[in-house]
Structure 1
Amino acid sequence: MFVISIACGNCFILKPSEKDPSVSMMMAELLKEAGLPDGVFNVVNGDKEAVDLLITDPHVDSVSFVGSTPVAEYIYHTSSQHNKRVQSLGGAKNHMVVMPDADLDQVVDGLIGAGYGSAGERCMALSVAVAVGDVGDKLIEKLTPRVQSLKVGPGTDPEVEMGPLISKAHLQKVQSYVDKGVSEGADLLVDGRSVSLQGYEDGYFIGGCLFDNVKQDMAIYKEEIFGPVLSVVHQPSFDDALKMINDHEFGNGTTIYTRDGDTARAFTNQCKIGMVGVNVPIPVPMAFHSFGGWKRSLFGDHAMHGMDGVRFFTRLKTVTSRWPTGIRKGAEFIIPTMK
C-alpha cells in the first residue's frame, strides 16, 4: 500500500505487526539507499498503544489496515470517529467450488498450493473446498495422499513445502481448532498435530490437516483459522454451493473449477465476494486492479491497489475557469451550463 501512497505524493508511516517487524525495517533501509528522502517512508514499531496514537492523531489524514476482522472493525470505527479516510481489510474464509466436470488434477494442485502455502497464514488461502454432486469421493481420494506427503521443515531448506507457524501461541490456536473440528464431528483424514522435526523439537511446526464432511455450523467452517487446515464440504448442487458461500460472513475471495462457461458466468455474476477466480487457485487480481473483499472482509469504501488505491491516497479537486475574452457582458443568475 505504501508504494501507491508515496507515488501519489504522500508521506507514509508503516506500523508493522510486533510479531514480524524485520521486513519493514529492511524495506526502509533499501528505500533510503535508493535515495528516498528522509521522512517520506517511516516505520514505527509498537503494540496497540502505537496504533491508537496513529489512528487518533490529527496529523494523520488516512489509515490503511490489513488484519483480523475484530481489529479491522475497531480500526475503521475509531479512525472514522476522528474524521479520517479508512480502508480496513479484515478476515477471510475463501471457498473453492469443485464442479463434477472439473479437472481434478488441477483442482488438487490448486488446493495444495493455495491451502497449505505459507502454512495457510495468508488472507487469500483457500480453507474450504466445496465438492458439488458426486465429485466429493474422487476429490478426497486424490487429495488425501498429497496432504500426507507435504514436506514440512524450516524455510531455509529449499525443498520444504511448508514452514512453521509464526508463534507458539498461534500454533496452539491452530491445534485447538483441529481439536474442535474432531469434537464437533468432522472426519479428520489427515492429522498434522503430531509433526516433530529432529533438531527443531521446539519449533512451531504443524503438518497439513484435512477434514471431510464439515458442516456449516462447525467452528472450523465459520471461523478463520489462519493455518494449514483444509475443510471439505459436500453440497448436492451448484445453487446450494453458491448459497453457502453467499451466506458466510466473510466475502474476501472465492474460485470455481469447472469446464462449463455458463456455470462459471453464473458463479462470477451471483457470488457476493470481492475477488473471484475461475480455474485459478488464488484469485488475487494483478496490482493494476483493486484488491479487497465484501461483507465483513472489508470496512470502508475503497479497496487497495489499482484505481481504488489511487482514489484513496488522493483528493479530488475540480477547477472551473473562464478567460476575460470569452466572458459575455452582464450578470448571470444561473449555475454554469453547457451552451
Structure 2
Amino acid sequence: MSINHLKHIINGEKVSGTSGRIFDIYNPASGKIIRKIEGASSKDTKKAIEISNVAFKEWSQVPPSKRAQIMFKYRELIIKHTDELAELISQEHGKTFSDAKGEVGRGMEVVEYCTAINNHLKSDFSADVSNGIDSHNLRQPMGVCAGIVPFNFPAMVPMWMYPVAIACGNTFVLKLSEKVPSCGLRLTELMHEAGLPNGVLNTVVGDKEAVDEILHNSLVRAVSFVGSTNVGEYIYHEGSNNNKRVQALCGAKNHMIVMPDADLEQSSDAIIGAAFGSAGERCMAISVVVAVGDETADRLIESLIPKINSLKIGSYNDPEVEMGPVISKASQEKIVSYIESGIKQGADLKVDGRSETEKEGFFIGGCLFDNVTSDMSIYTDEIFGPVLSVVRVSTYDEALKLVNDHEYGNGTAIFTRDGDTARHFTSNVQVGMVGVNIPIPVPVAMHSFGGWKRSLFGGSSIHGMEGVRFYTQLKTITSRWPSGIRKGAQFHFESGKDV
C-alpha cells in the first residue's frame, strides 16, 4: 500500500515541512503506518505567523456580518463532509465511526455559535455618565492567535479555537498533533472553500520546535492549548513570560459519585459509556467511581462486570464495535504499567482487559479495579485509557472531600434522586464542570469549557462568551462633543455627580 505524504497549509497553499523529522501516522487498529508528514520547523512556523500577521490588517477590518457569512458556509461544508471527516478521525485516532461523527457535530456547534458573532460582539453604551459625557466599550481583535491541540479530538478541539478567534477578527496559526493531522488539514481546506481569505488560517503539523516558535514569537498575541498538564503548565509559563495571553486546558481525574438512592442500572450504563467510550482517551472521561456505602459499591460492581466483559472491541469500520484501540504502542504499554501498579499496590482487579493487547494494533480491553485508595497511582494519575477505579466511602461528605482534595478539577458528576444532595454538590464541589445524572458534562457551544485547579492554567475557559473575551481586547471610550463642554479648566475627575 502506498503511503500518502501530507503537507502543511500556509497562505492557502500546501507546503512541505523543513524540520528534517518525518512523523509516521498510524492506524491504531492495525498498528500500520498509513501516512507520513515532515514536521514543521521553527522557520516554517515563523513563516505561518508572519503571513498571519500580514493578513490581520485587512481581515480585522472585515465587518463581523461578513465573517458570519463565511461561518454559515463553513457549517454547510462540514455537514456535507461529516462522513469524510469522521473517517479521517477514525483512521488515525481509532475511535468508532459513530463517536467520530459525534465529535464533528460537537465541533460544528462552535461554528454555529460563531455565525451569531455580531450579537456576541455587541458593546455597552451609557449616555450622560456625567454632564454631556457618554461612555461605551468595544471588543476588538487581538492580532495573530495560535492554537496547540491534542490527538484525542482531531476535529472538535481545533474548532473550539480558530472559528471563535477568526470570527472575532483575528488571524490564526493552528498547530496540529503529529499523530492525527489529516482531519485538521481537511477542515482548513474547507475553511478556505467557504471563502476565508488566504493567510487568515495557517495550519502546521509539528512538535516542540513548532510550539516554541509560537511561544517565543512576538507577533503571536494569544495562545490556546488543550493537552496534558505538564505540557500545559510549560506553555502557560513560557507564553506568559513572553507577554502572551494564554489559556491552557489540561489534565483530569474525573470522579462520579453514586449515592445509595441512585438508579443503579442507569448509573452503570452511564459509567460504561463515560469510562470506556473512545477507549478512555477523553479529558472528560469518568475514571473514578466513588460509591457511597458498601452495598452501593457491591451492586454497582455486580452490574458493571458483565457489561465491561461484553464490550465489543475492534476496528472502527466494524459497525458492531463499541470501543476501539488506544492511540499508540507507547500509550498501550503505559496503560498496562498502570494496571500492574494497581495490582501491586493492593487494588482488586475485577476485570482484566490486558488479553486484548495480543491483538494486532494498539488494543487494550476495559479494566475495573475495586477497593482503590487515594494513595494509589491508578487513582492519583490521569491514565488516559480504559481503566476504571472504584473507591468506597461511607458518607456523602467523604465523597465530596475526596473530589475536592484531588489536584485536578476538570469534570465531575453525581448520580442521585435527591435534589438537596445534588444542589449541595453543585454548589460546593471544587470542579469546573459538573453533571447531575449526566456522566460527561461537556458544555454546549454557547457556554464555556474549562476546569479548576491544575486542570486549567490562565483562568480563561474556552469557546462561548469566555472564548470571545479571550480572543478580543476591551476598549472603553469616554466622549463629549462641543455643545456639552463648559468653559474653564477643571482639576478633578468628572463623575455622574458633576452637574
Q: Quickly name the TM-score band, shorter chain normalised.
A: over 0.9
| RMSD, matched Cα | 1.0
Q: Distance in 2 between matches of 1:259 and 1:211?
A: 26
Identical aligned residues as a percent: 65
Aligned to 1:195: 356
Which of 164, 175, 182 is matched with 2:336 structurally?
175
Aligned to 1:164: 325
Residue type of the alignment partner of 1:283: P
User: Does the residue aligned with 1:12 lie in a helix, a strand or coil?
Assistant: strand
Deviates most, 116-125 or 25-34: 25-34
2:410 matches 1:269: no
Aligned to 2:303: 142
Q: How many angstroms does 1:196 deviate by?
A: 5.7
| Structure-to-structure mapping, 1:308-319, within 5 angstroms | 308-319=466-477
| Structure-to-structure mapping, 1:84-103, within 5 angstroms | 84-103=244-263
Aligned to 1:16: 176
Which of 207, 228, 233 is matched with 2:386 structurally?
228
Q: Distance in 2 between matches of 1:310 and 1:336?
A: 32
C-alpha deviations, 1:197-245, integer Å up to 9, x for none?
Answer: 7xxx330011111111101000000000000000000010000000010
Q: Distance in 2 between matches of 1:57 and 1:172?
A: 36
2:404 matches 1:246: yes
Q: Which of the pair is proportionally richer in helix?
A: 2
Q: Distance in 1 between matches of 2:451 and 2:405?
A: 14
Deviates most, 175-184 or 79-88: 175-184
Q: Distance in 2 between matches of 1:109 and 1:39?
A: 47
Q: Distance in 2 between matches of 1:295 and 1:53?
A: 27
Residue type of the alignment partner of 1:153: G
Aligned to 1:127: 287
User: Does the residue aligned with 1:224 lie in a helix, a strand or coil?
Assistant: coil
User: Does the residue aligned with 1:241 lie in a helix, a strand or coil?
Assistant: helix
Which of 257, 265, 269 is matched with 1:105 structurally?
265
Aligned to 2:94: none
Which of 66, 73, 81 is matched with 2:226 structurally?
66
Residue type of the alignment partner of 2:265: D
Relative to the length of structure 1, the TM-score reads 0.97
Aligned to 1:210: 368
Q: Which of the pair is proportionally richer in strand?
A: 2
C-alpha deviations, 1:116-174, integer Å up to 9, x for none?
Answer: 00000011000000000231101011111101100000011121100011111101011
C-alpha deviations, 1:18-68, integer Å up to 9, x for none?
Answer: 111111111111111111111111111111011001111001001100110
User: Does the residue aligned with 2:305 lie in a helix, a strand or coil?
Assistant: helix
Residue type of the alignment partner of 1:293: G
2:490 matches 1:332: yes
Relative to the length of structure 2, the TM-score reads 0.66
Q: How many angstroms does 1:336 deviate by?
A: 2.1
Which of 277, 282, 289 is matched with 2:447 structurally?
289
User: Does the residue aligned with 1:135 lie in a helix, a strand or coil?
Assistant: helix
Consecutive unaligned residues of structure 2, counting only runs of 5 or more, are 1-160
Q: Distance in 1 between matches of 2:369 and 2:416?
A: 23
User: Does the residue aligned with 1:15 lie in a helix, a strand or coil?
Assistant: strand
User: Does the residue aligned with 2:476 lie in a helix, a strand or coil?
Assistant: coil
User: Does the residue aligned with 1:158 lie in a helix, a strand or coil?
Assistant: coil
C-alpha deviations, 1:84-135, integer Å up to 9, x for none?
Answer: 0000011000000000000111111110111000000011000000000231
Which of 27, 31, 49 is matched with 2:187 structurally?
27
